[in-house]
Structure 1
Amino acid sequence: MLVQEIMKTKVITLPPDAQIVRALQLLNEHHIRHIPIVDANNAVIGIVSDRDVRDASPSIFNENVDADELKNPIRTIMSHPVVTIHPLDFVEEIAAIFYEEEFACLPVVSEDKLVGIVTEKDMLHTLIQLTGTHVQSSQIEIKVPDVIGILAKVTAIFGKRKVKITSVLIYPYKDDPKYKILVFRIQTMNPLPTIQDLRAENYEVLWPNVMEHNNEKM
């Protein structure tokens, strides 16, 4: 999945000479947390967060409140330089930037011009879509050897049951590089027949473990 598929293209921006009070108004009016600061060519030269604006605002508990502080230009509190991403970057790769740098948003730039923005909320929504949890489905986790062709062999079992696969994820198995965990979301509310087929082919089903519980009760 590419950044251009999830980015917002309608971005609220400000020039560097805009007053801080204007940023405060836009943050409240549009219920956003970040405002990119752009020059006359729409190039990103900084970014301001709601925290930056809050820290720059005079405290109501301060007896010597100076309202003129909010008239200062936004460039005095903006963060720069700004880490940006490209519309053709892979979402999976920029997720690492969000995690490692602890960013809450990333401006999207093409040919040195701002074309969009991606936020933490956008990333979370994308994760929900990638994992298939937004549709009614059942989850099956299978421990498999990390060998070539294993995914095709496992999905063939789902195919025989004519079960629709919503999503597939692959995780490492603890600290053992010889194995992987395949996580399937399938569009059926009764995964037991498929689980029986998997076990018949000697695959270890880690979740759900309903059948083991039933056997213990018998």
Structure 2
Amino acid sequence: MLVEEIMKTEVITLPPTATIAEALQLLQDNKIRHIPIVNDDYHVIGIVSDRDVRDASPSILLDVSDNQELENEIQTIMSSPVITIHPLDFVEEIARVFYDKEIASLPVVSNNKLVGIVTEKDMLYTLIQLTGTHVQSSLIEVKVPDVPGNIPKVTEIFGKRKVNIASVLVYPYKKDPKFKILVFRIQTMNPNPIIQDLREAGYQLMWPNNIPEPKV
């Protein structure tokens, strides 16, 4: 999945000469947490977060008759330079940028101009979509040797039951690197026939537990 598929294209921005008070008002009115700061050519030259604005605002405990700090220009508190991404970057790769840099939003730039923004919330929603948890489904985890061809062999069992697969994830089995865990979300509320087929085929299920329920 590409960044251009999940980014917001209507981005609220400010020039560097805008005041902190203007930024505060925009953050509150639009319920956003970050404002990219752009110049006349729409180049990203900084970014301001709600925390930056909050830290720069006078304390409500202070007995002051005016709020001179709020009239300072936003460029005095903006973060610069700014980490940016491209519309054709892969979402899975920019997730690592969010994690490594511990940031909450990334402006999207094409031809040196701001074209969008991606936030932590956008990433979380995308993860929900990629894992199939946004649709009614059942989850099955299968432990398989880490060798080529295992995914088609397992999915063939699903195909015989004509069960639609909402998503497939693969992750290493931490206790033994020679194995992987295949995580399937299937669009059926009764996965028992598939579970039985997998067990009869000799596959070890991590979820549901591989031990069959006792017959009553």
For Structure 1 versus Structure 2, the TM-score category normalised by the shorter chain is over 0.9
Does residue 1:214 correspond to 2:213, yes or no? yes
In the superposition, the TM-score normalised over structure 2's length comes to 0.97
Match of 2:99 in 1: 99
Identity %: 71
Match of 1:72 in 2: 72
Q: 1:65, 1:161 → 2: CA distance?
A: 74
Structure 1 pair 77–98 and aligned structure 2 pair: CA distance change class (3 A): same
2:177 partner SS: strand
Q: 2:17, 2:42 → 1: CA distance?
A: 14
State the AA in 1 paired with 2:78: M
The answer for unaligned runs of 5 or more in structure 2 is: none
Match of 1:129 in 2: 129
CA shift digits 1:157-203 (9 cap, x unpaired): 10011000000000110142100000000000111110111111111
Runs of 4 or more off by more than 4 Å in structure 1? none
Q: 1:128, 1:64 → 2: CA distance?
A: 47
CA contact (8 A) 1:59 1:65 kept: no
2:170 partner SS: strand
CA RMSD of aligned residues (A): 1.2
How big is the shift at 1:65? 5.9
Q: 2:65, 2:82 → 1: CA distance?
A: 32
How big is the shift at 1:141? 0.3
How big is the shift at 1:72? 0.5
How big is the shift at 1:154? 0.6
How big is the shift at 1:68? 1.1
Q: 1:162, 1:213 → 2: CA distance?
A: 23
In the superposition, the TM-score normalised over structure 1's length comes to 0.96
Q: How many residues align?
A: 216
